[in-house]
Amino acid sequence: MKMFFKLTLILILVSSNLLIASDFEKYDQKIADLLKRMTLKEKIGQMTQVTLEIVAHDHEEGIPLTKLKMDSLRIAVVKYGVGSILNTNNAANSAENWIDIITTIQRVATEETRLGIPVLYGIDAIHGSNYIAEATLFPQSIAMAATFNRKLVRKEGYITAIETRAVGIPWNFNPVLGLGRQPLWSRFWETYGEDVYLTKEMGREYILGLQGEDGDISQPDRVAACMKHYAGYSVPLSGKDRTPAWIPENYLRELFLVPFKEAVDAGVYTAMVNSSSVNGVPAHASHFLLSEILRKEWGFKGLIVSDWRDVINLHVRDHVAASEKEAVKMAVLAGLDMSMVPFKYTFAEYLEELVKEGQIPESRIDQSVANILRVKFALGLFDKPFPDPKRKELVGKSEHAQVSLQAAREAITLLKNENQILPLKKNTKILVTGPTANSISYLNGGWTYTWQGSDERYYPKHYTTILNEIQKLAGKQNVRYESGSSIDQLLNVKKVVKAAENTDVIIACLGEATYCETPGNINDLNLPKAQTDLINELSKTGKPIILVLVEGRPRIINSIVKKVKGILMAYLPGPYGSRAIAEAIFGELNPSGKLPFTYPRYVNDLVCYDHTYLEDYDGNHFNPQWPFGYGLSYTTFKYQNLKINKKEFKKGENIKISVEVKNTGKRTGKESVLLYLSDLYRSVTPPVKQLKRFEKIELKPGEMKTVTFNLTIQDLSFVNRANEWIVEPGDFKITVGDQTATFRLID
Ligand code: BGC
């Protein structure tokens, strides 16, 4: 039995963070010198972060222009000495306006405070720089994950950094590294999907795009990344945003912590804390998460910022602190560096009292201030606090939009194509219908010009809808449009059914409205009934129906899947998604996206692909609508000759795997080759398989490529009952496409 062979090898995970660590150390002297000159009040000010809204006049509706309130700004920056300001003022500002705002803030900070410490401005640039009116927006992360293309994610990060820093903002609160394993969750689309390896890979690429491979964020085209929300936020048991997660420690370490550890190794400069709780302990009060794991185990040297109001939430919402003051003490002693207060200054006032009363040692404050100053030094803010107005031209460059379009193209996932209904011929007579057919905001989702993304007054006029792009490719004369239903209400059904009469095919664009965070909570994963009713009515016409799904999470569509001939999953593909969708419909593009999550068939059957054997055993069936990694093409690929270089391996030896992939169809196509590993027996019940590598290739008709992968012993490891990473000898299986092969690890 395998248990007897158990290796006691605990993996010593050597941190590749060394470069960044030494880079960080080069500021130690400067930090120490500055700290010596700072008063307690000034130090605590650095730990305080407020929202732009409290230092600005209300945004005039629909106009991207913020005016600062100089008296409030001076209260924040001079009186309280805040270290950081965040957010936009309810809606996106123009690049020019941002440059003015940042210049004014930095002028006050550097010229009117005793020590002239610049402010660290932070923003949510979630899919491109979504709070700059002219910036390039990208597909949301769930769609970026579906591309299985690391290069595109890296480029997204890089372009986001260029455009964000161009207006003087040096800090981006992204990427989201939680695993999207709870499809009800309203932030599902901010994740890279359910898989730990895919998330880890995409998260790292995005961070390297933002910060550069050498981590030199003083460059004018770099920003500091913020991995969030550390950790466990993404799997609320109830499915509602900011509600508790319950994650056993071995599972936490084996899945949820991995992408964060990878980010630390990649040199991420900052981290934001999970707004909710894990195993009953709010993350903001968790010494275990913040200090023991992040700082001690992983050696993280960056800045830890709270989420929105979450220090005070320890008292008012979570009831773990009996007063606001106790909440402040709890969070700071747990290891927090900066509080996103974001409206009130009580955090600073209580913290000063706590230090004066001896309840928090000043040395603890010094550590946090050092972490904050280190990021400011690394960003070069002391030397160059002001934006360079000339760089404004870099915002929204046309070549940046090309990358966004390419990402949307590679994200689109073909889920069904009965009798090759797709692609359509251009002279087909088409009825376009459904709530997402003629909307620009639904393609983008939350974090688009406003927090909820729903106010289309802020959207650029050149953005197009799916209808617009279908009309362009098919010719207006061939396209009829009837909305048919809103997101949750049937509209003119009779009219839409009548309109179908003279057409060859119906394209029904379904999905979700825009939403973000708690306002996006739902009680039911089913696609709203109005939309399934629309399909039921249209299916009576006998005309073939093609579904286009524009949605941030997999809404259940089981009852209508059989009634339609083709299904294209678009996710939230961003502003150029409309064009990519139309190109896919008419075959100008061959879909190559794959699902980065398991698409459930039933609302109460939410099982991920890397489930245990038990979940597909006896009376239990793993029976999703489509599994993780699913996605069709207009061509066909054949996998053959899966080979492993040896049958038996000793620890320390690398495992070399190769497979041939051939395009057996008639079109050029891209294929993401996914390699899964199964540990057949181990002392903690194993997942049936887990993604360990992927590579996206392109093949012409008849072309064959050999794809090779290397696995190391670390890829075979898991977290045992004592919560340690170990490797156990035994039998393993590799699966790539329909090919499998086994090997043995010997003691
Ligand atoms: C969100 C964070 C975000 C922060 C600042 C919070 O409500 O949870 O993801 O970075 O607001 O806007």
**Is residue 643 very low, low, confident or very high in pLDDT (cuts 50, 70, 90)?**
very high
The one-character DSSP state at 8 is -
Give the position, in ligand 1's atom list, of the atom nearest the Cα of 190: 9
Report whether 589 contacts 469 (CB < 8 A). Answer: no
**From ligand 1's centre to the CA of 716, what distance in Å?**
36
- pLDDT (tens digit, 9 = 90+) per residue, 693-709? 999 999 999 999 999 99
| Class of domain 46-394 (CATH, top level) | alpha beta
Report the candidate in 297, 210, 310, 218 with the shortest Cα–Cα distance to residue 260: 297
Report, as residue numbers or ranges, the catalytic residues.
307
* H helical segments located in 362-430: 362-378, 398-411
- pLDDT (tens digit, 9 = 90+) per residue, 355-405? 999 999 999 999 999 999 999 999 999 999 999 999 999 999 999 999 999
Instruction: Name the closest-CA residue to atom 11, ligand 1.
Output: 308
- pLDDT (tens digit, 9 = 90+) per residue, 530-563? 999 999 999 999 999 999 999 999 999 999 999 9
Tell me what pLDDT residue 12 has: 38
Q: Where are the beta strands (DSSP E) in 231-283?
A: 270-273, 277-278, 281-282
Is a pLDDT exceeding 60 seen at residue 18? no
Report the candidate in 88, 183, 108, 145 with the shortest Cα–Cα distance to residue 259: 145
**Which of 307, 313, 340 best tests ligand 1's pocket when mutated (most atoms within 8 Å of CB)?**
307
As a whole number of angstroms, the distance between CA 216 and CA 267 comes to: 10
Task: Return the domain boundaries, the chain.
Answer: 46-394, 412-616, 637-745
**Which of 272, 304, 313, 447 best tests ligand 1's pocket when mutated (most atoms within 8 Å of CB)?**
272
**From ligand 1's centre to the CA of 225, what distance in Å?**
14
As a whole number of angstroms, the distance between CA 485 and CA 471 comes to: 20
Report whether 442 contacts 550 (CB < 8 A). Answer: yes
Report the candidate in 737, 500, 533 with the shortest Cα–Cα distance to residue 633: 737
Give the position, in ligand 1's atom list, of the atom nearest the Cα of 228: 9
Give the position, in ligand 1's atom list, of the atom nearest the Cα of 174: 10
Cβ–ligand 1 contact at 517 (below 6 Å) = yes
Q: Which CATH superfamily is domain 412-616 in?
A: Glycoside hydrolase family 3 C-terminal domain (3.40.50.1700)
Instruction: Name the closest-CA residue to atom 6, ligand 1.
Output: 308
Cβ–ligand 1 contact at 413 (below 6 Å) = no
The mean predicted confidence, pLDDT, of the chain is: 96
* 3 state SS of 98: helix
Report the candidate in 219, 209, 335, 196 with the shortest Cα–Cα distance to residue 266: 209
Is a pLDDT exceeding 60 seen at residue 15? no
- pLDDT (tens digit, 9 = 90+) per residue, 413-426? 999 999 999 999 98
Is a pLDDT exceeding 70 seen at residue 2? no
What are the C-alpha distances in Å from 175 to residues 189, 200, 206?
Answer: 12, 11, 7
**From ligand 1's centre to the CA of 37, what distance in Å?**
33
* pTM score, whole prediction: 0.97
Tell me what pLDDT residue 253 has: 98
Report whether 331 contacts 314 (CB < 8 A). Answer: yes
Report the candidate in 622, 413, 601 with the shortest Cα–Cα distance to residue 525: 601
- pLDDT (tens digit, 9 = 90+) per residue, 61-117? 888 899 999 999 999 999 999 999 999 999 999 999 999 999 999 999 999 999 999
**Which of 241, 242, 306, 308 best tests ligand 1's pocket when mutated (most atoms within 8 Å of CB)?**
308
Is a pLDDT exceeding 50 seen at residue 16? no
Give the position, in ligand 1's atom list, of the atom nearest the Cα of 87: 12
Q: Which residue has the tokens 């825009």?
A: 514
Q: What's the average model confidence in pLDDT over 116-121?
A: 98
**From ligand 1's centre to the CA of 307, what distance in Å?**
6
CA 438 to chain centre: 26
Tell me what pLDDT residue 7 has: 41
Cβ–ligand 1 contact at 124 (below 6 Å) = yes
What are the C-alpha distances in Å from 160 to residues 138, 470, 516, 686?
Answer: 9, 29, 20, 39
Q: What's the average model confidence in pLDDT over 172-179?
A: 98
**Which of 173, 243, 284, 303 best tests ligand 1's pocket when mutated (most atoms within 8 Å of CB)?**
173
Angle subtended by helix axes 362-378 and 18-25, to nearest 10:
100
Take residue 603 and report the two structure tokens written for it. 């609302």
CATH architecture entry for 637-745? Sandwich (2.60)
**From ligand 1's centre to the CA of 99, what distance in Å?**
22
412-616 shares the fold of 46-394 = no
Tell me what pLDDT residue 6 has: 43
**Is residue 20 very low, low, confident or very high in pLDDT (cuts 50, 70, 90)?**
low
Instruction: Name the closest-CA residue to atom 10, ligand 1.
Output: 173
Cβ–ligand 1 contact at 87 (below 6 Å) = yes
**From ligand 1's centre to the CA of 227, what distance in Å?**
12
**From ligand 1's centre to the CA of 517, what distance in Å?**
9
- pLDDT (tens digit, 9 = 90+) per residue, 187-207? 999 999 999 999 999 999 999
The one-character DSSP state at 591 is -
As a whole number of angstroms, the distance between CA 277 and CA 282 comes to: 4
